[in-house]
Structure 1
Amino acid sequence: MVSAFHSDVRRPWLWLGSALCALLVVGLVGVLIGMGRLESQTSPGFDLVLRQASMSLMLIVAAVMGSFSFTSDYRAGCFTRRVLLFQRAPAFTARLVSTVLAALLAGTTVGVLFGVSGELMDSAWGITPYAVLAFTGTAAMGSMWGFALGSLIRSHMVSLFAVPLSLVLPDLLSATSRNTEQFLFPVLAADWADHIAIHIPATGSFAGAMIWLVVVTAVAFGMFLKRDLA
């Protein structure tokens, strides 16, 4: 396990993917801020909407990065060689841990830059430990979710569409089943991030999101141990 983890964290693409993830989110958030500034009069709830949209982007981009962390190497045959070197369980676990670690770095970077933008523009948001924690936790959750789904889907291109769809699904279901969507992973993760950003504990949402992550990851791990790698 230790050898597999050391091998994973030395992969250049791991940290390049983390940097690209952070740059993509920062760029999209910058576009949102720019569009908001073009309005002649910003609505009172703009800061809240911007923070929620930014963390939603963080969740989706981190999930795609997490899925690609598995599917890109699986498509190239690199993951099969890693299994031959380290066995299945250590290879899967090390890749998952390194992927989440890289997402933590990306989330922290985005959270700090988001706070800096607020300080520079003298806006309602700024740099606070809890706001940064919200982005960091969101990125970690998203990467773990994406990695688990990516290992189940295995197809590089299919996961590019399926993983983001799994995170926007509650919005698609909101018109038909409002009672059901509140128990889905994306809603629980977003609710936790919204509350923790303003220093309000949301243990119920956090526990619910963790249950989803543990179940999906356990299923993915079990399937990985049994399925053919060819």
Structure 2
Amino acid sequence: MVHVVPAFLSELRRPWLWLGSAVGALLVVGLIAVLLGMAGLESPTSPGIEVLRQASMSLMLTGAAVVGSFAFTSDYRAGCFTRRVLHFQRGPAFTARAASTALAALLVGATIGMLFGLSGEILDGAWGFSFHAVLAFAGTACMGSLWGFAIGSLIRSHLVSLFVVPLSLVLPELLAGWLGDAEQFFFPVLAADWADQLAVHIAAFGSFVGAVSWLLVVTAVAFLVFLKRDLA
């Protein structure tokens, strides 16, 4: 794994890493702006910050997951990722791409979190900047990107991942009636609970450990499968 650092530095210089992250951020910001606008039109009073923040972080999780999946599938489809594997070897190439994708998502999430807080001050002098809320957005984006990257590397199809990755995030909610209390142990629910609690200065250690455990398992499976599968 001596090639991990050079591979990671090479990933940071990859233009599409930042361009793709910027496009994804603009889409998420646009959707959040629409959400805030609709909430303002439906009620003459300021909408509840908790509801808006939860909805915004849900959009953040989904948007980051889609961008994360494309970080693998787009280059894989074009053959660019295969060339990186030939240059850096499989393990370092996969690790560096996952790490750089997560880092970009972390920065994007923090930026969107700050914009979300500032938008309240601009609109009606409420909300304001909160370090914990920014950290919640950043962590949500980072988790979502790793989840999407792992799922995308398993699927490999660019178009299929566009539907499967968001579906994997809403499936526990869709099956809530069938799953019962087991719903709370799935990744999207754990990640959302951790972010919601952190945003209001409550440490949800159990939810964080559960969400990270899901990420470790899914990413490890994706990594092992990537090492064994044909690159063609």
TM-score exceeds 0.5: yes
User: CA deviation digits over 1:65-94, x for unaligned, max 9?
Assistant: 000000000000111111110000000000
Partner of 2:193: 191
Residue among 179, 182, 187 paired with 1:180: 182
Q: Measure the CA separation in 2 of the matches of 1:128 and 1:47.
A: 13
Q: Secondary structure at the match of 1:160?
A: helix
Preserved CA contact (<8 Å) 2:194 2:207: yes
Contact 1:18 1:105 in 2 (8 A): no
**In structure 1, which of residues 5, 8, 30 is the aligned counterpart of residue 33 of structure 2?**
30
Give the match for residue 101 of structure 1. Answer: 103
Aligned residue number for residue 65 of structure 1? 67
**Alignment deviations for residues 97-129 of structure 1 (CA, whole Å, 9 cap, x no partner):** 000011011101100100100111235422110
CA-based RMSD of the aligned residues comes to 1.2
Match of 1:2 in 2: 5
Query: Contact 1:47–1:124 (CA<8 Å) still a contact in 2?
Result: no
Gaps of 5+ in 1: none
Partners of 2:110 and 2:137 within 8 A in 1: yes
1:13 aligns with 2:9: no
Residues 87-166 of structure 1 mapped to structure 2, 5 A cutoff: 87-122=89-124, 124-166=126-168
Gap regions ≥5 residues in structure 2: none
Q: 1:16-68, CA deviations, whole angstroms, 9 ceiling, x for partnerless residues?
A: 11111211111111101111111243486x32111100000000000000000
- Identity, in percent, stands at 72
Q: Where does residue 171 of structure 1 map in the other structure?
A: 173
TM-score, L = length of structure 1: 0.97
TM-score, normalized by length of structure 2? 0.96
Query: Residue type of the partner of 1:137?
Result: G
